[in-house]
Structure 1
């Protein structure tokens, strides 16, 4: 019998977040994936450095790749230091890769990274999401809805 998938990922230490993604995209499904990293990349991430603000994931025949993510060089690294913006392979099950490939190819969805973190076992993980892009009017509508919910909370808090 298959192990049940946890609803929330066990994020112990969050290294980088893409807050803009929830504003720019309708998030459909989230996946937790491992990242194939070198030693100096892991050390740089443990130091709290790294950015996924302008990155995206791409599905091709050889797997899923994280493109344009920035993990700066490790300060105490030697000549074996890594390249900061190299494509990094994401580690997913074959069934998940097939689902992502179908959604991206047929439905025109995008793979957006949401956060990079270390789990309870100390492994570097990334949370990616299948997302559909928002238009400008959708962004305005979600901002109005967010403001109304904030105002609603204030009113309820004031009235007791």
Structure 2
């Protein structure tokens, strides 16, 4: 019997997504990548800030996610930033559900990239944009939770 390796999932999060959108249930999708893109993600040289997902020709595309990889040529060491669209892999049912939500006026945003196992996956969710007062309310709630936690910690 083969022994299974302990795989720890490394994830790169888009923390602005939950602040800017009221997110629905998340969905995990695969990514179609090249070798240098895989290496950049595994080395945590990726940013999801400002990234969004579109549906073109019945396919999901991740747009505006920046991957930076190092070009090491003849004595050169340069960093290239790539923001080209990446194809996402989902089932037809999931794609149809996302297309209906997109038509209803929702935005599809990436939440996190999982890169611990053999495959690189992306967690996406559809969501409705929050208004400014909703964001302020969320900040107030977060601040009060922090203060309550501090008080509880001081009583122990």
User: What is the TM-score normalised by the length of structure 1?
Assistant: 0.82
The reply on whether 1:49 has 2:59 as its aligned counterpart is: no
Query: 2:23, 2:127 within 8 Å by CA — same for their partners in 1?
Result: yes
- Deviation per CA, 1:5-46, whole angstroms, max 9, x where unpaired? xxxxx97112x3211111111111111111100111111222
Distance 2:63 2:37 in 1: 15
Unmatched 5+ stretches in structure 1: 1-9
Classify 1:132/1:54 alpha carbon distance in 2 versus 1 (closer, same or farther; 3 Å): same
Q: Secondary structure at the match of 2:126?
A: strand
Q: 2:109 corresponds to which residue? A: 112
Aligned structure 1 segments of 4 or more residues deviating by more than 4 angstroms: none
Q: CA deviation at 1:152?
A: 1.4
Larger strand proportion of the pair: 2
The reply on whether 1:26 has 2:22 as its aligned counterpart is: yes
Unmatched 5+ stretches in structure 2: 1-6, 75-79
Q: How many corresponding residue pairs? A: 145
Q: 1:85 corresponds to which residue? A: 83
Aligned pairs (5 A) from 1:8-157: 12-14=9-11, 16-76=12-72, 84-106=82-104, 108-120=105-117, 122-157=118-153
- Deviation per CA, 1:116-136, whole angstroms, max 9, x where unpaired? 12143x211111111110100
Larger radius of gyration: 2
Distance 1:97 1:72 in 2: 29
Q: CA deviation at 1:77?
A: 7.5
User: What is the TM-score normalised by the length of structure 2?
Assistant: 0.84
Query: 2:40, 2:68 within 8 Å by CA — same for their partners in 1?
Result: yes
Q: Secondary structure at the match of 1:97?
A: helix
